Structure formats: C-alpha cells, structure tokens
C-alpha cells in the first residue's frame, strides 16, 4: 500500500512541491542549541503540511565533521549525524512526515568526500577510496577528494549507501548533489589539470555507469522512490531511462530557469522590457527533461542575499515583486522547490549557525507583510495541488500555451496551463508597478472566468487591485488566436490565476 502511495506522490503527473530544510538552522532551541530529532518531528511536518507542501527535502544528514559544509562533506555515508540525538529519532521524524502526508527526500553526496585523516582519505595508507592521481582525485573547488568511480568496490560502497537511506530509514527519494562534477573529467579544471577517458574524451564514463546503476537499483528495489539530479549543464537525457541511453533520474533541477528568472527579477521594472526573453526562454526547453524549479539554499548564501533582498524597489515593491515571482513560479511548468525562509520573506541571507527569523511573523509593524508571503505560499500550494491543470502535465508540452508573450513594453506575460481532460487555468503576470486596466486576452471556450488567486490581494500585503469576486464574461471578440476573449485588470507587480467559473 505504501509503495502505491509513494508512486502516486512522486509521479510526473502528481503535484510535487518541496520544502527544502537544513535541520540545524530551521529552528534552534534555548541557548541556540540544535533541536532533537523528536523536537523536529513534532514541529516540522505539521508546519510543512499546513503550508501545503507535498515533500520535505533535507540537506545532508549523514555524519559530517564541519557544520559550515551544511552536510555536503560527508565522512559517514551510512551514519545519521549525532547532532540531533540517537539515530532512531530519524526514523521517528520520517514517520511523522509520512503521517502528515509528506514525502521525504534526502540530499546524497557521492561526488566527493573530505580529506580529513579520520575519514575515508588514504584509508589504508594509500588511495583506497579516491583516485590516486590528483588530476582525477582532487576537487579544486571544495578541496575535497573524488571517489574512484572506476573501482568496483568503491561503486558497491556508494550503491549500498544510496539504498541504505531508503531501505533502512524509509525515505522516499534522493537528491544527488553536484552531478555535473561527476559527469565531466574537466569539471572546473584548466587545460592540463585533468585526464581524458579511455577514448580521449572529457566524460567520466565510470561515474556515468555508477549513476545509471544507482538509479536502476533504486527503482528496482524501492518502487516509487525517486532520484533527482542537481545537474547544471546541458547534458542530454538526465531523466531519460538508462535503458534508452539516459542517466535514469526521475527529475532534474532546472538551474537555467532559476538563473534566468532571478536575473530578470533583479532588474528595475523600468528596464525589464529589455530582458523579457529571460522569462520566456525556459519554455523552449521546459519539456526536454522532467524538471524541478529550484529556489534552493545555494541562492541565499555567500553574499547573494535573501530572495526578498534580490528584489528591486522600496519595501512595498520588494514584497510585491517577491509575491509576483512566487506566483509565476508556481504557475510555470515544473515541480517546485523552495528553501526554508523563502516563505517568510526573510530579509537576511541564510546563516547555518542560527535559526530562521521567526519573529518577523510576530512584529506588529512589519509582520503583516511577512505573514502575507507565508499565506501566499500556502494558497499557491493548495491551488497547485487541487487544480490538475497546474500540475498534471508539468512535464508535457501539451500542458502549456502562450497567450501573450510579446508584450515587452508593458512586461506582461499571459499563458494557459492545461490538464489531460481539457480543463484550463489562465495565468497573467504584470512585472511593472503600473496597473494595466482593460487588458484584453484571448481565452478558450465560452465560459465565464473567475480570479482564483491574486498575489496583490490585500490579504498578502498587496494593494487589493484585481478582478473582484465576480465572473468575467467572455465576449465573441477574437484575440490571441482564440475566438473569444475577456478583459482583465492586471494589478501592479502581480501574478493572477483564473479559471472557468
């Protein structure tokens, strides 16, 4: 029964909305101590479920010596970290998530490991787990060692680790970190600092074989469990079955969408008309893979600032931009991932040494705006999950249609999302602070339409401009390739979502 639930929960046609969490800094206890597994089990699943997320994704919880690595420099590939207490508590956290209807995904790190002498480095006095030649075995970006993917015993060790987290702890999938660094022998290396493969190429054939094997075995031994790739290049077929020449992952992070859309949102609205293509380009390749749209921890650290801090304008415009961006993201094809703190509209960037700024929600003077962002995320998740048009064809071109893509001057985008039964949802985004009145758009069918979500709603901290609770009756005025059309009010810096009434 649970296998069927797991399959339904992660299928390409299912709504998948992931809350990414670093357990050590989601909340802290008195004296800034870590919460225990059981304290996390009591608080985290209830919170994520109340906000409508379908999954939680945990930054690596395998044992690691350095807090500042966030878990990505692992020394214990089979050991839950002791930071949160006895390992049995992890099983209780996973069970608590499942009891709330949440799937659990773990970050898994087979790309590299730290060079600490108490770990796997030079385990028997020589290069046992790592490549011997530093041109293969040393990762220059992270000062770490690279597993010897050409050694059968090392690959067996890594495959066993992947299966262990799923079989022993009952998690529902793995997000594989830094896949691009595994695929290419010349990853982040200058000429002369890498060794080619046996054919003289740059591909790491042994790592490719390992990834395919991991995916095949997980799908065979744990039906319904998923694997997701953090892969930042244009490597073809990341989510194609390995039997068809692909890597066999279920989903790939769409880092291109993330980079382009955030670059657009950083622009002052007066200049956005010159960058209109940055929001549109992702649709060109949106259905080449099964994608997750990630606003992950990597975007809110190392001086990048918070999501709110990336938004231009005064305080009101920053919040309005962020709400409009979230609306665009949740309506865009692809599964969703949001790192903790984004739902609060947190102003400072993430700090792994302290908890999130939960007090923002309680402030009398500013709390309403932060509570508004949190409420919007809840409502977006609920709408996304309840409307098949917003998720069923996330990975299929048939589920998307441009209505208005060429309104550069007004920075407006309008598109339709569709389900397999023919139902449609209309999405309109206005990325300027100027309301657009009497904006006519073509619509399918003859039904009246009604506004279901407006990121400028006063409940979210917006101005309250919109299309009201009433019906928008379509008229027999051909527009945008449709026989009928409706007239909209587009709120400033806002995304609105409508459906037939």
pLDDT of residue 166: 97
User: Does residue 187 fall inside a structural domain?
Assistant: no
Within a domain: 149: no
Residues 434 and 479 in one domain: yes
Please check whether residue 267 lies inside any domain of the structure: yes
171 is a domain residue:
yes
- Least reliable range by pLDDT among 347-351, 365-369, 389-393: 365-369
Give me the pLDDT at residue 294, please: 98
Q: What is the Cα–Cα distance from 250 to 241, expressed in whole angstroms?
A: 9
70 lies in the same domain as 4: yes
94 in the same domain as 75: yes
Q: Are residues 431 and 364 in the same domain?
A: no
Same domain, residue pair 161 and 229: yes
Give the residue-averaged pLDDT of 234-251: 97
pLDDT at 1 over 70: no
Instruction: Look up the CATH number of the domain holding residue 410.
Output: 2.60.40.1180
Q: Do 25 and 94 reside in the same domain of the chain? A: yes
CATH code where residue 241 lies: 3.20.20.80
Q: Are residues 23 and 168 in the same domain?
A: yes
Write the CB contacts of 468 (distance below 8 Å, at least 6 apart in sequence).
451
Q: Is residue 310 part of a domain?
A: no
Distance CA 458, CA 446 (A): 30
Q: Can you give the pLDDT at residue 4?
A: 77
For residue 495, what are the domain limits?
398-500
Beta strands in 312-370 (DSSP E): 335-339
336 and 238 in a single domain? The answer is yes
Q: Do 380 and 416 fall within a single domain?
A: no
Decide if 295 contacts 338 (C-beta within 8 A): yes
Question: Residue written as tokens 């709110």?
Answer: 308
Residue 85 above 80 pLDDT?
A: yes
pLDDT exceeds cutoff 70 at 189? yes
Q: Is residue 285 part of a domain?
A: yes
Residue 469: how many other CB atoms lie within 10 Å = 7
Structural domains in the chain (count): 2
CA–CA distances in Å: residue 91 to residues 28, 41, 159, 166, 218 = 21, 10, 21, 11, 19
3-class DSSP assignment, residue 177: coil
100 and 237: one domain? yes
462 and 363, same structural domain?
no
pLDDT of residue 381: 98
| Residue 143 domain flag | no
Overall average pLDDT of the 256-267 stretch: 98
Segment 169-192 shows an average pLDDT of 96
Residue 249 belongs to a domain: yes
Q: Is the pLDDT of residue 245 over 80?
A: yes
Residues 264 and 377 in one domain: yes
For the segment 342-352, the average pLDDT, to the nearest whole number, is 97
DSSP string, 381-414: HHHHHH-GGGTTTTTSGGGEEEEEEEETTTTEEE
CA distance 453 to 379: 8
Closest CA to 94 of 3, 165, 7, 176: 165
> How crowded is the C-beta side of 349, counted as CA atoms within 13 Å?
11
Residue positions annotated with a catalytic role: 177, 230
Average pLDDT, the chain: 96
The answer to whether residue 2 scores a pLDDT higher than 70 is no
- For residues 83-111, give the mean pLDDT: 97
Instruction: Give the pLDDT of residue 442.
Output: 98
**β strands within 71-119, DSSP E:** 76-80, 103-108
């Amino acid at each position: 029964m649970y296998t069927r639930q797991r399959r339904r929960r992660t299928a390409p046609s299912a709504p998948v909305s992931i809350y990414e969490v670093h357990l050590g800094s989601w909340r802290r206890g008195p004296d800034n101590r870590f919460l225990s597994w059981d304290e996390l089990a009591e608080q985290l699943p209830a919170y994520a479920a109340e906000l409508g997320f379908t999954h939680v994704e945990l930054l690596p919880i395998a044992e690691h010596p350095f807090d500042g690595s966030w878990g990505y420099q692992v020394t214990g590939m089979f050991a839950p970290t002791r930071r949160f207490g006895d390992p049995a508590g992890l099983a209780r956290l996973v069970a608590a998530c499942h009891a709330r209807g949440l799937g659990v995904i773990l970050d898994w790190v087979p790309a590299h490991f730290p060079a600490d002498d108490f770990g796997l480095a030079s385990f028997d006095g020589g290069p046992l787990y790592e490549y011997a030649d530093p041109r293969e075995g040393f990762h220059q970006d992270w000062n770490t060692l690279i597993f010897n993917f050409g050694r059968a015993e090392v690959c067996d060790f890594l495959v066993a680790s992947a299966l262990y987290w799923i079989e022993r702890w009952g998690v529902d999938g793995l997000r594989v970190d830094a896949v691009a660094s595994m695929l290419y022998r010349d990853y982040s290396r200058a000429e002369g600092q890498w060794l080619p493969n046996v054919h003289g190429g740059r591909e790491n054939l042994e790592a490719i074989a390992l990834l395919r094997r991991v995916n095949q075995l997980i799908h065979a031994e744990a039906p319904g469990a998923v694997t997701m790739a953090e892969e930042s290049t244009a490597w073809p077929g990341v989510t194609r079955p390995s039997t068809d020449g692909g890597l066999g992952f279920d989903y790939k992070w769409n880092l291109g969408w993330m980079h382009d859309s955030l670059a657009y949102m950083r622009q002052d609205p007066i200049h956005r008309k010159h960058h209109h293509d940055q929001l549109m380009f992702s649709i060109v390749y949106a259905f080449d893979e099964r994608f997750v749209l990630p606003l992950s921890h990597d975007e809110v650290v190392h001086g990048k600032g918070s999501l709110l801090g990336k938004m231009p304008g005064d305080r009101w415009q920053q919040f309005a931009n962020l709400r409009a961006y979230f609306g665009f993201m949740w309506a865009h094809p692809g599964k969703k991932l949001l790192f903790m703190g984004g739902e609060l509209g947190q102003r400072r960037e993430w700090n792994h040494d302290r908890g999130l700024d939960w007090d923002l929600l309680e402030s009398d003077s500013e709390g309403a705006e932060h509570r508004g962002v949190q409420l919007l995320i809840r409502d977006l998740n609920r709408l996304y999950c309840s409307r098949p048009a917003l998720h069923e064809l996330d990975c299929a071109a048939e589920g998307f249609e441009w209505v208005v893509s060429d309104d550069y001057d007004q920075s407006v985008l309008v598109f339709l999302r569709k389900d397999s039964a023919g139902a449609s949802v209309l999405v309109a985004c206005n990325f300027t602070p100027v309301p657009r009145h009497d904006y006519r758009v073509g619509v399918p069918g003859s039904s009246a339409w009604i506004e279901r979500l407006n990121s400028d709603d006063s409940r979210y901290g917006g101005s309250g401009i919109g299309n009201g609770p009433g019906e928008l009756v379509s008229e027999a005025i051909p527009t945008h390739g449709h026989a009928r059309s409706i007239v909209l009010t587009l709120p400033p810096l806002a995304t609105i979502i409508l459906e037939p009434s």
